[in-house]
Amino acid sequence: MMERSTAVIGTFLTLWAVLVVRGQCHTPFFIFGDSLMDAGNNQYYPLSTQPARVWPFGMTFPFHGSGRVCDGRLVPDFLAQYANMPFIKPYLEPGFTNYTDGANFASAGAAVLAENSPNAIFLKLQLSYFEHVKKKLEQQEGHKKTQELLSKAVYLLSMGGNDYMKVGNPKPGEVPLTASEKKEYVTIVLGNITSMVKKVYAMGGRKFLFQAVGPLGCMPATRVGPGAEGCSHEVMSLAKMHNTAMSNVLRKIEKTLPGFKYSMFDYFSTLASITNYAPKYGFKEGQAACCGSGHFNGGFTCANTTAGFNLCHDPTKYVWFDGAHPSDSANKFLSALFWSGPLKVVWPRGAKELFHMP
């Protein structure tokens, strides 16, 4: 009898220890961004003009109808998996009120500047959603517990691409921005991002992940020809300017805000590399999309049964699923680098280190 009691007590203490460790290591994950991060918010956003994602979107996802602009998972999905977390739910999902694991505020079509995303959840609106989550957490968990959760949380931001596509992809006859106009525009975009980061910091946030703006001119939708030389120059130059300036801004913020830690992933260079040299990384096709129509399959007709669209047989062999969104396989490749890649692609630390920080 004594041995049985001892065994029961030992089992209880083991389980208790596991629960304590899990509680100490619990890291909520909050996600801000555009279609590269949207886990389904646009399905529920009343102003969205984009239809709910239907097949072939989600065709390789564990369950179809994921609401993601992809055949499968996105970068934040993989990061959550690496951190031993469930997929983070979209904030607008009906009935979603348990925010202890975090929330995804991203919206397809979203931009930093409100005027560039009239039918999507722009950055300041996403921030207001986070403020609402903080209030709900305080009601559910109390002020002290909420502050602990928010200070341990990791905050991912990936936005700006739609802002630069708005002004950096001039139509025939339009005059491209001058160098000084580009610099001024990048400064405005970054000023809004910096303001948002400081507000999240003021609410308790300390650990931030930033995904650089991608190679906007190398997407199937914007590509003008084959090979690296076939990428559109104007919008690429804006993305490069943004990423360089963003890196400088983050170094300054880390020096001025006590406890602020960050990780910046060079999404631009890594995605451009697998796009233009796909076979080197195990992909069959890097420049044409799996789903779409027209030049490089870059036309946004995927899932449009009226207009019609082409669909590849195996999305896992493609870098791009549609005209502007990487495939599940590409996102997996990119996420692994974001999580624990070398310093030349993710700095000054990988996402893994931030998630494991106390």
Q: CA 253, CA 265: separation in Å to the nearest integer?
A: 17
Q: Which amino acid is at 322?
A: D
Measure the CA angle with vertex 132, ends 127 and 134; round to 5°: 95
Domain boundaries, given as residue ranges, for the chain? 29-268+343-356
Residue 16: per-residue pLDDT: 35
- The pLDDT value given to residue 220: 98
Tens of pLDDT along the chain (358 residues) come to 444 444 444 433 333 333 333 444 589 999 999 999 999 999 999 988 776 678 899 999 876 668 999 999 999 999 999 999 999 999 999 999 999 999 999 999 999 999 999 999 999 999 999 999 999 999 999 999 999 999 999 999 999 999 999 999 888 888 899 999 999 999 999 999 999 999 999 999 999 999 999 999 999 999 999 999 999 999 999 999 999 999 999 999 999 999 999 999 999 999 999 999 999 999 999 999 999 999 999 999 999 888 899 999 999 999 999 999 999 999 999 999 999 999 999 999 999 999 999 8
**205: number of Cβ within 10 Å:** 23
What pLDDT shows up at residue 249?
98
pLDDT at 51: 67
Predicted local confidence at residue 272, as pLDDT: 98
Tell me what pLDDT residue 19 has.
36
Per-residue confidence (pLDDT) for residue 65, from 0 to 100: 67
Domain 29-268+343-356, CATH number (from 1.10.3470, 3.40.50, 3.30.230, 3.30.1380)? 3.40.50
- Alpha-carbon distance of 21 to 334, in angstroms, equals 30
Q: Which amino acid is at 124?
A: K
**Three-state SS for 104?**
strand
Report the catalytic residues.
35, 322, 325
- Entry pTM: 0.92
Q: Which residues of 99-110 are buried (b: 16+ CB within 10 A; e: fewer)?
A: bebbbbbbbbbb
Instruction: Give the pLDDT score at 53.
Output: 77
Radius of gyration, CA atoms only, the chain = 21
pLDDT of residue 25: 55
